[in-house]
Chains A and B, each alone.
Chain A
C-alpha cells in the first residue's frame, strides 16, 4: 500500500499570500493518478485537482497542481478567505486508493 505523507501539518498564511502544500508518496504513484481535495468544517470534500495537474470542473485557476513520481504539490497562487480549509491528497494504484493525512490551511 502506498502511504501519502502531507506537509506541513498546518500552514498559517494571510489572504493574498501564496500557499504551497506538499504530498510525498512512499513509492511512485501509478501514472500520476494523484488528486487533491478541499474540505471545510461540516462539509464533504470537494475535488480540486486530478491526474496531478488537471483542475476539476468549476475550480478557480488560482489552484494548480504539479509533480510526478513520488513528489506532488498543490499551489494556491493568491489566497482568498474561502480557501482556508483542510486539504487532502489521494492516490490510486493496484486497484486501491489512499489519502494523505491532510494539511490544515489557517488564517494567520
Chain B
C-alpha cells in the first residue's frame, strides 16, 4: 500500500544540523512532488518546503529559507530535509507528505519524526 516513513529525528543542540529522511513505497515516487510540514508541540500545522517531481524546483517557507534544503533521490525512493543552524523554534514533529497530482493538496502523509532542539 502507499506509505511514507520518516526517520532521522532526534535531540540536537541549537546551531547544529540534522538530516531527515522519508522513505516512500507503494507508488511511483518519481512522479510526485513532495512536501515537508511541521507541527510544534501543541500547535498547528506549518508548511516547510516542497520539491517538484523532477527535483528541479524547490520552494520554502520564509522561516526556513537559507537554512533548510529539501532534496530527493528517486533511485532510493527517498525524500530528504537537511536542516542547518537549528533554532529552538524548529522543534516539532516533521511530516513528509505527497502532493496529490494536478491538485495543490497533500493526499498521503507519514507518521512524522520528532526533532528536539535543546542545549
Q: Interface residues, chain A, CB within 8 Å of chain B?
A: 1, 33, 35, 37, 39, 43-47, 50-51, 54, 56-57, 86, 88, 90, 92, 95-102
Contacts and interface: CB of A to CB of B under 8 A. Distances in A.
A46 B95 CA distance: 12
Nearest to A49: B105
Contacts of A1: 62
Contacts of A46: 109
A99 B45 contact: yes
Nearest to A6: B44
Nearest to A93: B104
B45 A35 contact: no
B59 A96 contact: yes
A50 B45 contact: no
Interface residues of B, number: 23
Given A96-B59, A97-B35, A47 B44 contact: no
Nearest to A97: B47
A44 B61 contact: no
Given A1-B62, A95-B59, A96-B61, A47 B105 contact: yes
A97 B35 CA distance: 10
17 contacts: A1-B62, A39-B45, A44-B95, A45-B37, A45-B45, A45-B97, A45-B109, A51-B105, A56-B105, A57-B107, A88-B45, A90-B105, A92-B104, A92-B105, A97-B47, A99-B44, A100-B44
B60 to A, nearest CB: 8
Nearest to B60: A96
Contacts of A90: 45, 47, 105-106
Contacts of B110: 44
